[in-house]
Chains A and B, each alone.
Chain A
Amino acid sequence: AQSVSQHNHHVILSEAASLELGCNYSYGGTVNLFWYVQYPGQHLQLLLKYFSGDPLVKGIKGFEAEFIKSKFSFNLRKPSVQWSDTAEYFCAVNAHSNYQLIWGAGTKLIIKP
């Protein structure tokens, strides 16, 4: 069965620190990959997505993610975080076979001002 694993449930960083959130998936076929963000009290928003082409994908608010097919990974990065990045981040994957999203459990990111 397909699954998505996010390595850290909680991450606490200071402002200006660099961020990397891990995401690994288990599926041998062709996939699309997504990162969603949920700011406190707000709804899920698409941060970035990968379908094909350049494995380094840039999203909104300075976030980027790199798809490494050999490692089944799609880690999210940001070189310098801000207090406003405090949110919960979800990695999700869908397979070209049925396009149903499989979700990770989420990572709660807290940025200390």
Chain B
Amino acid sequence: EAGVAQSPRYKIIEKRQSVAFWCNPISGHATLYWYQQILGQGPKLLIQFQNNGVVDDSQLPKDRFSAERLKGVDSTLKIQPAKLEDSAVYLCASSSPYRGQGKTQYFGPGTRLLVL
């Protein structure tokens, strides 16, 4: 079974530029999550999708961050304009819709973003 795919793996941009990250979840996983992980901290949930609908985006800085999952499969997270404090690893995870597995989340390799 293929895991969660993310691209790019690394990105360096200057502040005020825009950037986009892509994620393809495990096949059949209806729930998709985007996290931000700052060095030395645990992941922070940015947004959660169930199919193509948003379940929770309460911690997404909506003035600069946006995300979509138009066809309920892959997803894109965008930052525009980027700030220095956005430097972090952006993780995508997916989980099965079946509660019997406690909705275990499986993670992609992440995109390491450096904003200069």
Interface residue ranges, A against B (CB under 8 Å): 32, 34, 36, 42-46, 49, 51, 90, 92, 94, 96, 99-101, 103-106
Contact = CB atoms under 8 A, between A and B. Distances in A.
B102 A90 contact: no
A34 B106 CA distance: 12
Contacts of B101: 51
A105 B45 contact: no
A96 B40 CA distance: 28
Interface of B: 40-45, 48, 56, 91, 93, 95, 99-110
A99 B93 CA distance: 13
Contact of B108 (A43, A49, A106): A43
Contacts of B104: 32, 34, 46, 49
Nearest to A9: B40
Residue of A44, A96, A104 with most chain B CB atoms under a 10 A cut-off: A44
Contacts of B109: 42-43
Contacts of A96: 99
A96 to B, nearest CB: 8
A90 B108 contact: no
A44 B33 CA distance: 14
B102 A32 contact: yes
Contact of B103 (A90, A94, A106): A94
Given A100-B48, A100-B56, A105-B42, A94 B102 contact: yes
A14 to B, nearest CB: 24
Given A45-B107, A49-B104, A51-B101, 16 more contacts: A34-B104, A42-B109, A44-B91, A44-B93, A44-B107, A49-B102, A51-B102, A90-B42, A90-B43, A94-B103, A99-B95, A99-B103, A100-B45, A101-B45, A105-B40, A106-B40
Nearest to B45: A100
B106 to A, nearest CB: 7
